[in-house]
Amino acid sequence: MGNESVLCTVCQGVLPASGREAYTSLRGRLIVTNGYCAGGCAERRGERARLAQQSQQQEEQQQVRPVAPVPPAGPVRGQQIPVAPGMSR
């Protein structure tokens, strides 16, 4: 019996035993050091992955949105506006 068969792949907690004979000194030591797996780890991992993907998609959408150009500001009071040669104001 290796550690891989008794540990949860997500939280590394000890999985419930299939029977009385499965409770060995190794399993006991792992229970003390790692604790039990509370269950539902795969579902929680899937939910976290889904939320992370949604967040990433939202960030990408925000980056892609074009920014409206800012109209140029009008002349400041007293400022001379250059006029092209041949044009009059």
pLDDT digit string, tens, across residues 41-85 = 877 877 888 888 888 888 877 776 666 777 776 666 766 767 777
Q: What CA–CA distance (Å, rounded) separates 23 from 60?
A: 50
Going from N- to C-terminal start, the domains of the chain cover 3-61
Give the chain's end-to-end CA distance (angstroms, integer).
Answer: 93
Does this model's pTM top 0.85? My answer is: no
The answer to whether residues 7 and 15 touch, using CB atoms and an 8 Å cutoff, is yes
Q: Where are the alpha helices (DSSP H) in 1-89?
A: 3-6, 25-34, 41-64
pLDDT in tens, 12-46: 999 888 888 888 898 999 999 999 998 888 778 77
